[in-house]
């Protein structure tokens, strides 16, 4: 079966990251994406997760290969099957900033719900969350919802992270924390803050803009949940 394959390649150029995208007919069961390791050097597993997880949201990519890591994509040349790119698209920091702003539709500092975990939080992220929340309390006007898998939740519970987060007022779910979260559709809920690009995208789209979003890093989200407002 022949479908389009997306090959994502990164090349550092000064302060601008350039993504070289190549579309090609390829014998495969699904669209594929490949990432050059020069972009992922120094990134944690969590950062790579957030880099790749939005691909199925708007790009229709259900598989991603990292050049130099994935066995069948040992080199960029192998990933490109010996051919040059058919099309090159450059993405600048300004492009990224524009998308960042697009994912924030709310004005002012109001926040009703903070959600983390789309994709699900890892054990390291739960540890960091627990460290931030230890000895502190979520503001009475805000709910903090955290999505993680049942096995990771069990590990976090054994490590004491779950207790720390729940003592602070956080709540756990094991579903997709954005669209799958019924709280998104409750009347009176106006602003959701999240560190998840695909969550912000889905919330805006699935609520027809009725629920506004604030997109920020996880630390800013937690501080807003504690303060009761966007800092």
Residues in the chain: 231
Query: What confidence score (pLDDT) does residue 20 get?
Result: 36
pLDDT grade for 30, boundaries at 50, 70 and 90: very low
Average pLDDT of the chain to the nearest whole number: 77
Do 20 and 128 share a domain, yes or no? no
Do 217 and 125 share a domain, yes or no? yes
Enter the pTM of the model.
0.76
Please, which residues bridge with residue 14 across strands?
A: none
Query: Is residue 27's pLDDT more than 60?
Result: no
Query: Is residue 85's pLDDT more than 70?
Result: no
Query: What confidence score (pLDDT) does residue 123 get?
Result: 95
Do 108 and 55 share a domain, yes or no? no
- Show Cβ contacts of residue 230 under 8 Å, excluding neighbours closer than 6 positions: 106, 108, 109, 110, 111, 193, 214, 216, 220, 224
- Give the residue numbers spanning the domain of 107: 103-227
Query: What confidence score (pLDDT) does residue 83 get?
Result: 75
Query: What confidence score (pLDDT) does residue 225 get?
Result: 97
Q: What is the DSSP letter of 168?
A: H
- The top-scoring range by mean pLDDT among 7-11, 47-51, 61-65 is 47-51
Query: Is residue 139's pLDDT more than 50?
Result: yes
Distance separating alpha carbons of residues 224 and 57, to the nearest angstrom:
26
Query: Is residue 158's pLDDT more than 90?
Result: yes
Do 207 and 116 share a domain, yes or no? yes
Do 111 and 79 share a domain, yes or no? no
């Amino acid at each position: 079966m022949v479908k389009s394959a997306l090959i994502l390649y990164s090349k550092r150029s000064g302060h601008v990251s350039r993504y070289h995208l190549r579309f090609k007919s390829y014998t495969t069961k699904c669209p594929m994406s490949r990432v050059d390791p020069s972009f992922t050097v120094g990134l944690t597993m969590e950062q790579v997760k957030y880099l790749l997880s939005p691909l199925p949201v708007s790009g229709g990519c259900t598989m991603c290969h990292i050049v130099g890591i994935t066995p069948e994509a040992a080199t960029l040349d192998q990933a490109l099957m010996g051919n040059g790119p058919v099309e090159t698209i450059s993405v600048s920091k300004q492009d990224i900033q524009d998308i960042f702003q697009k994912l924030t539709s709310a004005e002012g500092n109001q926040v009703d719900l903070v959600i983390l975990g789309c994709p699900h939080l890892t054990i390291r992220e739960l540890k960091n969350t627990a460290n931030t929340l230890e000895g502190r309390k979520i503001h009475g006007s805000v709910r903090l919802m955290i999505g993680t898998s049942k096995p990771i939740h069990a590990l976090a519970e054994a490590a004491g992270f779950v207790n720390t987060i729940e003592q602070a007022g956080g709540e756990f779910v094991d579903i997709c924390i954005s669209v799958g979260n019924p709280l998104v559709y409750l009347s009176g809920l106006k602003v959701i803050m999240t560190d998840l690009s695909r969550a912000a995208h889905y919330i805006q789209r699935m609520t027809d803009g009725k629920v506004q979003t604030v997109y920020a890093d996880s630390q800013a989200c937690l501080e807003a949940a504690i303060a009761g407002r966007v800092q």
